[in-house]
Amino acid sequence: MSIRRFQGLLFALIIIAGPMSVTPWSKIILAGLFGVSALQIALLSLSNGGLMISHLSSKIILSYLLIFVVGFLSLLINSTEPYGLLISTETLGRLFSIATLSLTLVACYAHLASLTENEFEQLGKIWLIPGFIFVLFGTYQIYCNLTGKPFFIETRDWMHGVPAIIRDAVPKRVTSIAEEPSFLSPILIETFLLVMFLVKTKWLRYSVASLVAAILLLTFSGGGYVNAIMLGGCATLLLFWRFPLGKPHFFILILLVSFLTALFAFGQILIEFAMNKFIHEASGGSSRAQFMKNLLDIQFNASPFNLLFGHGLTSMSHLNEFGMQMEDMLFRISNNMFLDILWESGLIGIMSVMALFALLLRQSLMIQLALNKRLSLSLLLTIQMLCTGLYRSEYISTHLIWMLILVVWAIGWEKSKIRRNSELSCGDKI
């Protein structure tokens, strides 16, 4: 096997393993990705005489890393313990995760930059594999639920919060190999998008997309349902709304994304309150919504330094030291990526992640207009990441890294379409 093909195999392994951070084997996968990514970087450096990464990829890596640099510096400054006690097992674990995810980004972006246009386009089939794995095991889990056979792994598939009439008909949620339904639902939505854009055979495309939608429905994940509705609403609006986009719009785009994210983040609390009223699980709001409210109260009443730079990495494990009452500490994360980043890295962390999303939105919107289509894969995937961040706090996960790599690939894939269409319209040879 040539070095070139071996590099392609390593890249495929990373892509297939990326979304598996939602499974019970996430720590094993993280350790494996560290070794595979380091090997990929070494091979690329030797074969190409160094690493080559696009400007877009470099900006994504820097924006992503800034979140953690700020959080770590804030932890050092905020800590009242000696430096030796500060580096706890949890902190070391978090730093290892950040190092692994950063290596994975560099390895995959460098590999994408080294590909020819044909090799770049041929990667489309690989992106479908992880989703198909989840769909396959989800279908098998439905069969097990219907026949009474035990599923081969334990997941949080109990039907808590679901009306009795539904529980009588469907005894368990579908989780596939994910640990719980809300972990699975974003991957199903992403798989749905990939199937609709990448599967060329019409009957197969709609058959698989229908199966994915059915499994999403059987997850009974409120966050997943809201995610699908929000993404569908954005797609519907884009079908009827187009505008010219230039460089001056970049700053406006950052403000727009920041506003929408803040609106959705607070809206999630209201949605959760409403849902719990309808299903009679609680009066006055769920425990998760109360936790998010208390977290925001503490954050916005903190010192100017903590508001700007956050409370530091892993500080959510010690919320009682920041004024959180013990009875309110049922959770260690808010299940909202933006609120968790605000807590750990402050407004600077939020501005960094918003700059990252604004960059991707600008690129994908420009591609959409250049393709002369009202919808593009890269644009919908970027919106999907924003939606997922409202009910999943996985900014330190291989799934998010997988999505960041996928969006960059989708942007390059659509750019190749633009070049091909331009050459054909001019009558040039390909």
Quick: pLDDT tens for 207-238. 999 999 989 988 888 788 888 888 888 887 77
Predicted confidence (pLDDT) per residue in 101-152, tens digit: 999 999 999 999 988 878 888 888 899 999 999 999 999 999 998 888 888 8
Asked whether the beta carbons of 254 and 136 are under 8 A apart, the reply is no
Q: What are phi and psi of 116, to 5 degrees?
A: -80, 170
Q: Indicate the DSSP class of residue 150.
A: P
What is d(CA 102, CA 94) in angstroms, rounded to the nearest whole number? 12
Q: How far apart are the first and last CA of the chain?
A: 30
pTM of the predicted model, to two decimals? 0.86
Average pLDDT over residues 34-61: 91
What is d(CA 40, CA 46) in angstroms, rounded to the nearest whole number? 10
Task: Tell me what pLDDT residue 425 has.
Answer: 54
Asked whether the beta carbons of 103 and 34 are under 8 A apart, the reply is yes
Rounded (10°) angle between helices 398-426 and 26-48? 40
Predicted confidence (pLDDT) per residue in 143-190, tens digit: 998 888 888 888 877 766 555 656 666 678 889 999 988 899 999 999
Tell me the one-letter amino acid at 220: F
Q: Indicate the DSSP class of residue 149.
A: P
What is d(CA 375, CA 319) in angstroms, rounded to the nearest whole number? 43
Task: Tell me what pLDDT residue 325 has.
Answer: 60
